[in-house]
Structure 1
Amino acid sequence: MSSHLSSINASSTTVYYKEFHSIAFVMPTAARDIPQGNGHSDSLARTVSNSFGTLDLSTSPTATFHSPLSSYGGHQKPSTKQLKPFQTQDVKVLLLENVNKTGQDILRKQGYQVEALKSALPDDQLIEKIRDVHVIGIRSKTQLRANILKHAKNLIVIGCFCIGTNQVDLQYAAQNGICVFNSPFSNSRSVAELMIGEIITLARQLGDRNNELHNGVWNKVSAGCWEVRGKTLGIVGYGHVGSQLSVMAEAMGMKVIFYDVVNLMSMGVASPVHTLEELLRQADFVTLHVPEIPETMNMISTAQFDQMKQGAYLLNASRGSVVDIPALIKTMQAGKLAGAALDVYPNEPGGNGEHFTNKLNDFTEDLRKLKNILLTPHIGGSTEEAQSAIGAEVADSLVKYVNLGTTSGAVNMPEVTLRSLTMDEPNHVRVIYIHKNVPGVLRRVNEILGDHNVDKQMTDSRGDVAYLMADISSVNVSEIKDLYQSLEDLGSRIRTRVLY
């Protein structure tokens, strides 16, 4: 890989900066050398702000899509220096599963090569596609396990354009210097609103009445149909979705109780309970908002259904493994529950138009025969607003990681960030060193950096992996190769990046 020039126009001053071997992979030895050049370099002029449609997105390293004024009015042009990867068009991005156009546009406006596909890929095709990409964006269907990631020799970052990250081998990614980002909060409002809609739909048996009338049957009944005012909602998992649902349910006159393994502040007049059993015995409606971890596998099964009130309702919009669905079917058939709503399943079709049958889950046909059960195809976060926000949040994180090395919001790496370089710091170099979390590394790294002035440095660790970022000044271009190679030669090295 050669070293290239790129440029930014800010306040009428063009600032040039480069990156040496930003994406450090197994490459021919010659690719690690800084070329002597031919007297000129290709340069890519870029402005301080990106825009798409009517949105104006600041690319300031200190601003995010959600920063005040950044999306709709723009910040004042900053005096910060923006580090870019070598030539931006050399950064290859693969987006799968129909990532929202908002995210695509943010990445394309950086000048990256972006290939966007509408569906997930079979493993053999995914392996071929992933071999030479630096960035991959996925949603919930694509499985990035070690057997896939081991072929991704150029990959430095994964963007999960969704809440969950259980489809990625996070430990393998971290141990190979691949950072993973997601969007844990952007679709929480959409999921909470779906729950409100389904609570009312179940209480009034709207699903059954709708199906009957579509089949030409007029069936006006009030038996078993209820108002939700005055009923008790039990929320399992009081995070961003659960807490928003809590506020909306209270506004409809419901009493809200919640259970979480973490002590959390109540919203409104919601009341925490000490055990799951206590919640199940009190609640008329039970909603689930928990992650997929060993502790939540089949956390609602026969014993928990027995603890629920006669005529209660269960709603799951978290993960398909959380509810023992065969046990749910038996409970519904026995008349213990009055209704249920499922948006997630243990095994789900790979794309739209595929069949949801017993070939995926052997209980599917029995599930579909139940009365007053709402089955939706994992649409909790499927709104225009949520997908646009997710696209912006994850794409913003990817850009900051590729361009600046910032790991804020990473799910498998320590969160490390440094103050942005300014326009009057042209001879600075940003060193990023991902390494094994073992004794003595900082001493050896600082021995290498010690020949220069270390302006600022931050390091943190997470499990077996540590992340160091340092800005050093008064560095000559001729010294960058030796600096990089010295870090690469350390036995603790996982990945080295040098931005300048």
Structure 2
Amino acid sequence: MDQQKLTSYPKEKISILLLENISDAAVAEFTNAGYSVRKLSGALSEEDLIAEIKDVHLLGIRSKTQITRNVLDAAKKLQAIGCFCIGTNQVDLKAATEAGVAVFNAPYSNTRSVAELVIGLSIMLIRRIIDKNIAAHNGIWMKEAKGSYELRGKTLAIVGYGNIGSQVSVLAEALGMNVIYYDVETKLPLGNATQIRSLKDLFGQADIISLHVPSSRSTENMIGAEALSYVKPGAIFINYARGEVVDLDALKEALVSGQISGAAIDVFPVEPEKNGAAFSTPLQKLPNVILTPHIGGSTEEAQHNIGLDVSSKLLNYLEKGASFGSHTVPAISVPAIEHTHRILHIHENVPGVLSAINTALSENKINILGQYLKTNEQIGYVVLDVDTKLSQDALALLRNVKHTIKTRLLY
């Protein structure tokens, strides 16, 4: 099929808006495919986004822009949202699903960046480099070995053995560390790592603890005073996962008491919306503590890979109707059929919709040459291939089917 005719909608009329300084790699992908892109460097407030989004077909964001139900209600032409990051918690996924808006992200693209930094932080903390660095900047010569250790032979405890946690595990073993991990699911270990069944047992054995869990109701404040009391005295604590997971006041107490000898924190319950804004945390000015501004995955390589990954998913959905990787629209990916036109139909997941579609087309003598259906709890997604001469008639009929959310003539 002619690659220039993958979409029936004129490419020059498709509006693509990228916020938060998304990588130029993404811009290049859209531009090379024949589209124009508007790119803004910062996040937008709900009010500003509502004003901007009314004619947007594809929206790209990172972690700061909040996609609320009000924003989605205003986005009448929006087909898909690309979260150019690993998470999607900044999007109201329920509202996006109800609106038939596909939401994509890049869950794996910055894995290596975070894993490398966790290992680097472990070395800095266990050697107490932070305190020696500050002393040197203040004109004090602090040459001593007391309290400084090698990573080799130490035990690293990983909470959450997913994409990043397992990568940290591999790198840690390469440095001669013993790796143990805790996960709510049974996970096959990489290398010689060992799964531990409780946080209490995990923390009691660990020299270094690193968190790699998602943000959810079950993980909110999962590391508080009680969990920290299980930690082996003098252990090091690293959170480059999600800010809501750790009670920072409890962590401060553990640091002040010496229960924990050092910490590195990159994520916080409340974070500024833009660079240069004021920032406060209970952990400021504590010794042997590294604080970074949510940059765990912020490398040039990661942003480049994320740009390629998410833009590819958005283009595949826009031009082919492929929804694999979407958190909202059910996953379908089907090859093009020659000499047909393809229609995409998103509807509420209630009984009888597919029957109504088939009835409407058959009564008007429109033959279906290919049909694919996938549903989730809220919506159904149908891909139909029909005769080219009758596609406009079919599109009009499908728009009038009861419980329809979105209908689009793809090509």
Match of 1:380 among 271, 281, 296: 296
- Alignment partner of 1:460 is 2:374: yes
Contact 2:118 2:168 (8 Å CA) reproduced: yes
Match of 2:276 among 353, 362, 375: 353
TM-score, normalised by the number of residues in structure 2? 0.96
Q: How much does 1:238 deviate?
A: 0.8
Matched AA of 1:351: K
Match of 2:286 in 1: 370
Matched AA of 1:353: G
Match of 1:435 among 347, 356, 360: 347
Structure that is richer in helix per residue? 2
Of residues 190-199 and 461-470 in structure 1, the stretch that sits farther from structure 2 once superposed is 461-470
Secondary structure of the corresponding residue to residue 172 of structure 1: helix
- Alignment partner of 1:287 is 2:287: no
Cα RMSD, aligned residues only: 1.4
Provide the rounded CA distance (Å) in 1 between the counterparts of 2:198 and 2:344: 45
Match of 1:199 in 2: 122
Contact 2:220 2:245 (8 Å CA) reproduced: yes
Match of 1:446 in 2: 358
- Alignment partner of 1:111 is 2:6: no
Counterparts of 1:175-194 in structure 2, within 5 Å, are 175-194=98-117
Contact 2:100 2:328 (8 Å CA) reproduced: no
Secondary structure of the corresponding residue to residue 319 of structure 2: helix
Counterparts of 1:54-453 in structure 2, within 5 Å, are 83-357=6-280, 364=281, 366-421=282-337, 425=338, 427-450=339-362, 451-453=365-367
Contact 2:353 2:402 (8 Å CA) reproduced: no
Matched AA of 1:98: N
Provide the rounded CA distance (Å) in 2 between the counterparts of 1:165 and 1:172: 13
Provide the rounded CA distance (Å) in 2 between the counterparts of 1:483 and 1:200: 63
Q: How much does 1:150 deviate?
A: 1.3
Secondary structure of the corresponding residue to residue 388 of structure 2: coil
Match of 2:388 among 468, 475, 489: 475
Contact 1:417 1:469 (8 Å CA) reproduced: no
Q: How much does 1:308 deviate?
A: 0.7
Matched AA of 1:129: E
Provide the rounded CA distance (Å) in 2 between the counterparts of 1:299 and 1:272: 19
Q: How much does 1:96 deviate?
A: 0.5
Match of 2:396 in 1: 485
Provide the rounded CA distance (Å) in 2 between the counterparts of 1:276 and 1:420: 50
Provide the rounded CA distance (Å) in 2 between the counterparts of 1:282 and 1:446: 62
Secondary structure of the corresponding residue to residue 243 of structure 2: coil
Q: How much does 1:471 deviate?
A: 2.0
Contact 1:417 1:458 (8 Å CA) reproduced: no
Provide the rounded CA distance (Å) in 2 between the counterparts of 1:161 and 1:107: 14
Which structure 2 residue ranges, 5 or more long, are not aligned? Answer: none
Matched AA of 1:490: V
Contact 1:85 1:402 (8 Å CA) reproduced: no
CA deviation string 1:94-129 (max 9, x = no partner) = 101000000111112222231101111223222211
TM-score, normalised by the number of residues in structure 1? 0.80
Matched AA of 1:212: A
Contact 2:221 2:246 (8 Å CA) reproduced: yes
CA deviation string 1:41-75 (max 9, x = no partner) = xxxxx4xxxxxxxxxxxxxxxxxxxxxxxxxxxxx
Provide the rounded CA distance (Å) in 1 between the counterparts of 2:388 and 2:10: 21
Which structure 1 residue ranges, 5 or more long, are not aligned? Answer: 1-6, 10-45, 47-81, 358-363
Contact 1:235 1:242 (8 Å CA) reproduced: yes
Secondary structure of the corresponding residue to residue 495 of structure 1: strand
Matched AA of 2:394: L
Provide the rounded CA distance (Å) in 2 between the counterparts of 1:307 and 1:196: 23
